[in-house]
Chains A and B, each alone.
Chain A
Amino acid sequence: MDNAAIDHIINKYQGQARFLIQILMEIQEENRWLPREVLKTVSEKLDVSFRQVMRIATMYKTFSLVPKGHNEIHICMGNACHVRGAERLLKEVQELTGIKPGETDSDGKFSLEIGCCRGNCCSGPVMEIGGKTQDKMSPAEALKNYE
């Protein structure tokens, strides 16, 4: 991510330090992760100490300090999904992608996360890829669409 892109985002918020979280969120959205250099640039531009930026970037789950894959897979581990076989789904997805929760595969295609409740319990066990619920198909089929 280059400086111009960061500047563009920071300018949107008039470079105000109180929008730090929003700025980081937009960078995260665009870049899919927060490299250390970017955080440093943000801290300089907003005149917020690097310490504070790090504290916030490590605090919230939205932010990732390691690269994320193009397609983020979320598997729900909530009660309803658990009962309907989330464990088996997770195991199968792990075998298909070769990554564990919290990891990203080597070609940056997928990263896997587990979470609790994606708000779609009736079609559980829920798997989301790139923010879209994958319904009525096998994990292999779902993943193939995003290869």
Chain B
Amino acid sequence: MSKILIKIDGREFEASEGMTILQAAKEVGVEIPTLCYYEKLEPYGGCRLCTVEAEIRGRSKLVAACLYPVEKDLIVRTRTEKVDQIRKMLLELMLAHAPASRDLQAYAEEYGADKNRFQKESSFCIHCGLCVRYCAEIKKKEVITFVDRGTNREISFIPEIASQECENCKECFPLCPTEALQAAYVLTQALSFPSLQSVTE
């Protein structure tokens, strides 16, 4: 493994090949906010909260730190005005869906996001996919999934499998960045009213 010299917020760091910016930043001690990231899972790049400015050969672009692999002479800036603005906007949009989330509120305070900026649409889900991916990648049960698309996209348990598996697991509940109760609610709904599930038209 060759070493790659990079710079994160002015601090130099020797990263090894295959590392992502997020992992390197953690080593350096620079904190990058994340919502959809979880060490044991494949990076997803869904929440975009880890957006940073990456400068290569004099050009800088915005990338998701959890997905972007380090490369030679990379200069990363994690708290520029542009990045902060993006994070603030993302937080405000997500807060419209999950105003009560503690994780979101903590970040909102840091980035000055106003949780009342957008009209509330409390779905309690920000589509981070943690529960869906955890179930598929680690438990290998594939009980929970996204259904529908666009603005109607939502998480849904598959009742037939959920009735056998979920009772003893429920490991996806605490992963939820918005409210553990949301997954509990969707699961209860799936088990109590299987006929309602996924009838989307």
Complexed CA–CA distance, A55 and B160 (Å)? 15
Stretch of B25-33, B103-111, B193-201 lying at the A interface: B193-201
Is the CB of A96 closer than 8 A to any CB of chain B?
A: no
- Chain A residue, CB-CB nearest to B143: A51
Q: Give the residues from 66 to 84 in chain A that come closer than 8 angstroms, CB to CB, to chain B.
A: 66
Complexed CA–CA distance, A58 and B148 (Å)? 5
Contacts of B156 in A (CB 8 A): 54
**How many chain A residues have a CB neighbour from B under 8 Å?**
13
Complexed CA–CA distance, A58 and B142 (Å)? 16
The one of B136, B145, B201 in contact with A54, judged by C-beta atoms closer than 8 angstroms, is B145
Complexed CA–CA distance, A59 and B201 (Å)? 11
CB atoms of B198 and A102 under 8 A apart: no
CB atoms of B199 and A66 under 8 A apart: yes
Q: How far is the CB of A37 from chain B (nearest CB, A)?
A: 11
Of the four ranges (under 10, 10 to 19, 20 to 34, 35 or more), the interface on chain B belongs to 10 to 19
- Chain A residue, CB-CB nearest to B152: A58
Q: Give the residues from 45 to 59 in chain A that come closer than 8 angstroms, CB to CB, to chain B.
A: 49-52, 54-55, 58-59
CB atoms of B149 and A50 under 8 A apart: no
Is the CB of A64 closer than 8 A to any CB of chain B?
A: yes
Contacts of A40 in B (CB 8 A): 160
14 new A-B contacts at CB < 8 Å, known A51-B143, A55-B147? A40-B160, A49-B142, A50-B142, A51-B142, A52-B145, A54-B145, A54-B156, A58-B147, A58-B148, A58-B149, A58-B200, A59-B149, A66-B199, A102-B201
Measured CB to CB, the residues of A under 8 A from B are: 40, 49-52, 54-55, 58-59, 64-66, 102
Measured CB to CB, the residues of B under 8 A from A are: 136, 142-149, 156, 158, 160-161, 198-201
Q: List 21 A-B contacts (CB under 8 A).
A: A40-B160, A49-B136, A49-B142, A50-B142, A50-B158, A50-B160, A51-B136, A51-B144, A51-B158, A52-B145, A54-B145, A54-B147, A54-B156, A55-B146, A58-B147, A58-B200, A59-B148, A59-B149, A64-B201, A65-B198, A102-B201
